[in-house]
Amino acid sequence: MLAIGVLAGCAQGSPDTTAVPSASPAEPVVLAEPVATLDVACADVLSDQAASDLLQSPVSLKVNSADIRSVRDVARLQAGMLTCVWGGEDKTDNSWNQSIVLSVLPDAAADYDAGVEQVDDGAIVYTVGDLSEYLCSYVDANMSQCAANLLIDGYWAQVSSTSVGTIEGRTPATADQSMESLLDTLAGTITGSSAAPAWSAAPGAVSGGFCSDPGSTAVVQTAFASSAYALRDNALVPPLPAADVAQNRAGMVSCSWADGAGNYVSAAVVPGGSWSMASLKAAPPQVSYDAPELSVAAVAGADGALIGCGGSGYCVGILSVGGSLLSLNAPDIGVDAFTAAASATAAAVVSAG
C-alpha cells in the first residue's frame, strides 16, 4: 500500500518537465599531423647537459620527432614513435661521431619480445621497467658503442650511443654506468608522461600497391629507359629494431630494381603521408650526406614535389601523390628526364592504389 500511495502522490499537480542534460561523449581529437604517442619533448627526456654527461663529451639536441629528413621519418611519426638524436659537432657520413639516438614505440610489448634477444647476445639484464638490458662494446678511450632496450608501460625504448674520438675518463665502467643511468631516466620519463591522441590517415590514400604490382617493373623500365632493370627483394628480416617496426605499422612499402651494372631505381610509399609535404617544401631535407640538394619542383600528377640530381651521381624525388608520400631514387639522368620519369612513376603508383 505504501508503494501505491507514493506513486499516486507523484501523479498529482503539474508534471516536472525540466530537462536533465545528458552527458555527451567527448568529440574525438582529429590531428592534422601526427605526433609521438609519448607526449614529451626530447629536451625534457635529456637536456643537452645531461646527454653530454652520459657521453662524457659535449653534445646537443640535433633531431626531434618533428624534424622530417626522409620518408622514413614520416612513417615513424605516423606510427607514434618518438625519435630524438643528440650529437656533437663532427660527423662521419650520416652520423655524428658522438651521439645518443633514442626511439620510443608505443604498444610494443610483443614487438619487444620478437626484436630483443635477452641474454643470448651477451647483454646485461638490468632491473628497471618490465624488461631492460644494455650492452657496451668498449675498444678504448677513443671508441665505445652502447645499445640498450627498455619495456615499460607498453613502450619499447631503444637507444644507442656512440663515442668516437679521445674522451678523457671514458672507461668500460663509465660506459656501462651511462647506460644504466639512461635506462633509469627513460623509465621515469615514460611512467610520468601522458599519451597524445592517435592520428589516422585520410581515407582513400594510395597504399603502395605499386611495389607488389606485376606491371611495376615495366613502368620502371620505360620511365628510366632501360629494359635491364629487374625487381629486387627488399623484405625486412627479423628481428627488427623499433624503427623498422614503426615503418611497418605505418604501412610503408619499398621496392627497388637493379640492372646488374651498378645502377638501381628505388621507390617507397608512406600511405597518408602527404601531410608532410608542406614541411618538406619549407625546409628541404638533406636525405643523405652524399645526396643532391632538393628543390621544389612541378611534377605532373603530383600535388607537390622536391627534386634533385647530382651529389654522388643520382637523383632523388619526394612527391605527394594520391594523399600519400612517394620517394624515388635513380641514377643521375638529369633533372628534366628524372622529373618526367617521376611523373610516370607517380601515375603508376596512383593507378596501383
Q: Is the pLDDT of residue 233 over 50?
A: yes
Backbone angles phi, psi at 347, to 5 degrees: -60, -40
Instruction: Determine the pLDDT at residue 120.
Output: 63
pLDDT in tens, 40-51: 999 999 999 999
pTM of the model: 0.88
| C-alpha grid cell, residue 120 | 643470448
pLDDT of residue 27: 44
Q: Which pLDDT belongs to residue 167? A: 75
CATH topology for 42-191 is: Jelly Rolls (2.60.120)
State pLDDT tens for residues 285-339: 988 889 999 999 999 999 999 999 998 899 999 999 999 999 999 999 999 999 9
Band of pLDDT at residue 118, cut at 50, 70 and 90: low
Average pLDDT over residues 180-190: 98
Could you tell me which residues come within 8 angstroms of residue 46 by beta carbon, excluding any fewer than 6 positions away?
Answer: 54, 61, 84, 86, 100, 182, 185
* Structure confidence at residue 8 (pLDDT): 29
Instruction: List C-alpha distances in Å: 172 to 86, 111, 141, 145.
Output: 21, 30, 9, 10
Class of residue 309 by CB neighbours under 10 A (exposed 0-12, middle 13-18, buried 19+): buried
Residue type at 7? L
* Cβ-contact 306, 332 below 8 angstroms: no
Amino acid at 102: L
Q: Closest Cα to residue 309, out of 337, 345, 278?
A: 337
Domain layout of the chain by residue ranges: 42-191, 209-352
CATH number of 209-352: 3.40.1000
Q: What angle do CA 185, 191, 193 make, to 5 degrees?
A: 100
Rounded distance between C-alpha atoms, residue 15 and residue 143, angstroms: 84
- pLDDT at residue 26 above 90? no
Domain 209-352 in the same topology as domain 42-191: no
- Higher model confidence: residue 31 or residue 130? 130
Amino acid found at 336: D
Give 10's pLDDT tier (boundaries 50, 70, 90): very low
Q: What is the pLDDT of residue 179?
A: 96
Q: Do the beta carbons of residue 161 and residue 55 sit within 8 Å?
A: yes
**Cα torsion angle, 59, 60, 64, 67, sign:** negative
Taking residues 226-247, report their average pLDDT.
Answer: 93
